[in-house]
Chain A
Amino acid sequence: MNFVSLLSTTVRLLDLHDSQRTYGGMAAYGEEKRTGHNDGVYLGIAIDIIKQLYALDQTSSHDYLPFYTIFNAIKSSQKNVNEEDVQYVLNVIRRPTELWYQSDDDYSLMSEKRRTALIEKTDYADEYRLSSTGRASVILSREANGASYIRGDAYNLLHAIEFGEFIKLEQFADDLIRQLRDEILNVRAAIEKVGKTESAQKYIDNFERYGKVIKDTLEIISKAELAFSSLETLDVFNEWQERSNADLTYESLFGLVTRVRQTLEVFNRAVQDLVSSTLKDGRTSVKPPSFLSLALKQVRTPEKESTIDFLINQWGALNLATSLHSPLDGYSAVKVKVQKIDAIGMEFDINDVEPVSRVGKLEFMDRHGKSISQALKAAPLRLSEAISKGWFIVDDKTMLGDLVGIFVSPESLDLNSEVQISLLDKMNITDVGTGQFFYTDLEISILNKAAL
Chain B
Amino acid sequence: MNNHDLGRVHAYLLRHRYVETKSNRRNISKEEREVATLLRDADLEMKVLLREILNGQGLELVQFGEFDVTGIQSGATVFMVARLPDTTPSIFGTDALDTRMRQVRGIQSDMAAKIWFVQLWFIHLDLIYSRRNRGPQEMQDYVGAIFKRETLIDATRDYINDQIRKTDLSTLADDTVYRTLTSLKEGSVADAVNAFLELLVNAGLLEKSSDETYRQTLLSAYEMKANYDRQLSSLMPTEDIFESATNLLIQDEEMIGE
Interface residues of A (CB under 8 A from B): 181, 184-185, 188-189, 192-193, 196, 263, 266, 270, 284-303, 305, 308-322
Contact = CB atoms under 8 A, between A and B. Distances in A.
Interface of B is mostly: helix
Interface of B: 14-15, 66-70, 74, 83, 85, 88-89, 91-97, 111, 114-115, 117-119, 121-123, 125-126, 129-130, 132-141, 159, 163-164, 167, 171-174, 176-178, 181, 196, 199-200, 202-203, 205, 223, 225, 227, 231-233, 235-237
Nearest to B137: A192
29 contacts: A189-B140, A192-B139, A284-B137, A286-B136, A286-B137, A288-B132, A290-B130, A291-B122, A291-B123, A292-B126, A294-B236, A294-B237, A295-B122, A295-B159, A296-B237, A299-B164, A302-B174, A305-B111, A312-B94, A314-B227, A315-B227, A315-B231, A316-B97, A317-B117, A319-B92, A319-B93, A319-B95, A320-B15, A322-B91
A237 B235 CA distance: 64
Contacts of B97: 312, 316-319
Interface of A is mostly: helix
Contacts of A263: 67
Contact of B114 (A189, A288, A308): A308
B174 A317 contact: no
A289 B200 contact: no
A301 B174 contact: yes
A299 B177 contact: yes
Given A266-B67, A289-B136, A322-B91, A302 B173 contact: yes
B119 A185 contact: no
A129 B174 CA distance: 81
A287 B239 CA distance: 12
Contact of A293 (B70, B94, B236): B236
B197 to A, nearest CB: 10
Given A185-B69, A189-B70, A291-B125, 14 more contacts: A189-B138, A189-B141, A284-B137, A288-B129, A292-B159, A292-B163, A294-B122, A297-B235, A298-B177, A302-B177, A311-B118, A317-B97, A317-B205, A319-B93
A317 B202 contact: yes
Contacts of B68: 188
Given A288-B130, A295-B122, A300 B137 contact: no
B168 to A, nearest CB: 10
Contacts of B93: 318-321
Given A289-B236, A300-B172, A316 B122 contact: no
B88 A313 contact: yes
Given A181-B66, A188-B140, A313-B88, A289 B130 contact: yes
A284 B178 CA distance: 36
